[in-house]
Amino acid sequence: MYTSTRSQLNLHTHQISYLLYYSPPRTHNSFHHSSNQTGNSPSIQFTSPTIMSTSQTILELSDEKKTEDYISPVENKSNLQSLRMQEKIALQSIHKLMTKEMIQIDQWLSVLCKTFEDLAYPPLHRVLQATTYFNDELQMWYETTKHEINNDWSNFCDRLKQYALDRQMNPSTWNHSLSTNNDILSFEYLIGTKFIRYSGIGDAKDWLLQTMNQFKQCGLRRLEQLQAIPFLLVDTTYLWHVENIDLIVSFELFSKLFLQKFTCTPLQPQDIPYGDTDKTLSVVTGSSFTSHLQKTIADEIIKKPTYFRGSKDDVHDWLDKLEQRFKMVKWSDEQTLQYISIYLQDDAQRWWPQASSVIKTWSSFTEAVTHAFGSTEAQQLAFEQLKWYKQTLIKILLNIMIPLWNYVKNIKDSLKLHVALQDPKTTDLFLLIARKVEDALSLTSPNNDIHPDHVTVNVATHSKPLTRPFIQQQSFRKFPQNTFQQLSGQQFRPNYPHTTRMEILLL
């Protein structure tokens, strides 16, 4: 047994129980103070110089020990910052894993593992830290496999090595990387030329099987198949993909969700009534034909829509026709509401922008459009418009007929009967008939004598024999109708009776 301590305390001289029970005070003053407090008891007074020396030695050692163990907060923070800086430098020394460097994946992983071991990095954080060195392609790979990896470092390393090996063994399958714009365009061109896009119309299972077979023929792997999904979906299927993009982390999960959404539940044999088996079988065997027919009808509905112009059309009749066509293609309420804007024109088109912010379902649309264009207010509006149209038409007719009525009213009695029999419809036709009747009556007048002065005027003016008064007709057209009364028929014609002058047209 050891008989001495670091303080050279002689255990044979003093009992250890005294030293355990009477622990030395922290300072000399406190020691003397405690001695004075216990001075009344003779059993605990120490007057031996040896004991005092030992107590002082223990006190000094205790103070030195506490001085060595004590670290100031400033020093502790400085040490922590220093460790963090060393960790940061070590992690930054690892270069980013590029596509061309995946051939040396073992060397890269060994450097990464050694760094993690030196830093005593937690195993649960190693996978996430390793992905910070991935490029876009590897990031996509990790997103598709992170559920299988489950933050297991050894599993992560094994899968990454296998991925790099597969990529090295089949380099031709990785020609369509999506790292640049040109690659994206070439990839989209490949999908557009080699694959059939799906819009939600047709058998979803058949389309998926056909697409997977085409993937194999083109040599596309699972990662590229997942990247190709947005290019393969259009219309409602693309919108569905956008809504569920956070859930679609692998092609397998996409296939599951896709079939759940767009595959119809087939009829079971027990659900088919007796006697209808042949009919049902014919429907099932002709499903591909039905799908093609539905697609054709849908294209026809979109290209040649049944327009609705608002108050000008019957809203109930339009809704009946539209719903029948939608049922033929088996469109859902969301699909019908999506394409409804192309069917609206005029008043209905102006009504839709404001109403669309409130209408979210097909039933609410039918109620709103019926209330807007099938109510008494809409009928009253249509009646007012029709009334305005009638008044406008009457004004136009009056503007045409009033001058004609004035001519008929003011014509001389000798011409009224002849002109009325011709039933002229316009003012010009009325004047033409009146002139012809006037000329005809002038030829049959009993007084056909020609005054010599009139002949002289006509000859001097025209230098040709006098003929039928066509000159007078031309001059009649050149003057406004309000100057007819100022013209003298004797200036251009022989001395016919005064009842046949052109001024008889207007009083």
Sign of torsion, CA 275 281 284 289? Answer: negative
Give per-residue burial for 41-66: e unless 16+ CB within 10 Å, then b. eeeeeeeeeeeeebbebbbeeeeeee
| Predicted pLDDT at 318 | 83
* C-alpha count within 13 angstroms, C-beta hemisphere, residue 112: 24
% of the chain with per-residue pLDDT over 90: 0
What type of residue is 196?
A: I
Q: Is the pLDDT of residue 33 over 60?
A: no
Q: Convert the pLDDT of each residue in 50-102 to its tens digit.
A: 444 444 454 455 555 545 555 556 666 677 777 677 777 777 677 777 766 67
Residue 310 pLDDT class (50, 70, 90 cuts): confident
The residue ranking higher by pLDDT, 170 or 316, is 316
Q: For residue 489, what are the contacts with CB-CB under 8 A and spacing of at least 6?
A: 472, 496, 500, 501, 502, 503
**Full-model pTM:** 0.26
Comparing 128-137, 271-280, 429-438, the range with the smallest average pLDDT is: 271-280
| Predicted pLDDT at 275 | 47
Q: Is the pLDDT of residue 193 over 70?
A: yes
| Predicted pLDDT at 200 | 84
Q: Is the pLDDT of residue 252 over 80?
A: yes
Sign of torsion, CA 22 24 27 29? Answer: positive
Q: Where is 276: in which H helix or E strand?
A: none
What 3-state class would DSSP assign to 356? coil
What backbone phi and psi angles, to 5 degrees, belong to 94?
-80, 120
Report the alpha-carbon distance of residue 153 to residue 126 in Å, rounded: 7
Residue 190 near residue 163 (C-beta atoms within 8 A): no
Q: Is the pLDDT of residue 122 over 50?
A: yes
What type of residue is 270?
A: Q
| Predicted pLDDT at 222 | 77
| Predicted pLDDT at 330 | 72
Residue 116 near residue 126 (C-beta atoms within 8 A): yes
Over range 282-298, report the average pLDDT.
Answer: 53
% of the chain with per-residue pLDDT over 70: 52
Over range 200-224, report the average pLDDT.
Answer: 84
Query: Tokens standing for 410?
Result: 């003011």
Q: Convert the pLDDT of each residue in 335-387 to its tens digit.
A: 777 777 778 888 888 888 888 878 888 888 888 888 888 765 555 666 666 66
Sign of torsion, CA 58 60 64 69? Answer: positive
Burial class (CB in 10 A: 0-12, 13-18, 19+), 273: exposed
Going by the DSSP 8-state scheme, the letter that residue 342 receives in this structure is: G
Taking Cα atoms as reference points, which of 254, 255, 262, 205 lies closest to residue 237?
A: 262
| Predicted pLDDT at 96 | 77
* 381 beta partners: none
Q: Is the pLDDT of residue 463 over 80?
A: no
Q: Is the pLDDT of residue 157 over 50?
A: yes
Rounded to the nearest 10 degrees, how much is the dihedral formed by the CA atoms of 400, 402, 407, 413?
A: 130
| Predicted pLDDT at 273 | 46
| Predicted pLDDT at 10 | 52
Give per-residue burial for 452-489: e unless 16+ CB within 10 Å, then b. eebeeebeeeeeeeeeebebbbeebeeeeeeebeebeb
Comparing 92-96, 159-163, 305-309, the range with the smallest average pLDDT is: 92-96
Only one residue has tokens 């030829």, namely 443
Going by the DSSP 8-state scheme, the letter that residue 304 receives in this structure is: S
Taking Cα atoms as reference points, which of 136, 226, 231 lies closest to residue 187?
A: 231
Q: DSSP string covering 154-210, please? A: HHHHHHHHHHHHHHHH-GGGGS---SSHHHHHHHHHHHHHHS--B-S-S-HHHHHHH
| Predicted pLDDT at 62 | 53
Q: Convert the pLDDT of each residue in 396-417 to its tens digit.
A: 777 766 766 666 666 666 677 7
| Predicted pLDDT at 476 | 42
Residue 445 pLDDT class (50, 70, 90 cuts): low
| Predicted pLDDT at 277 | 43
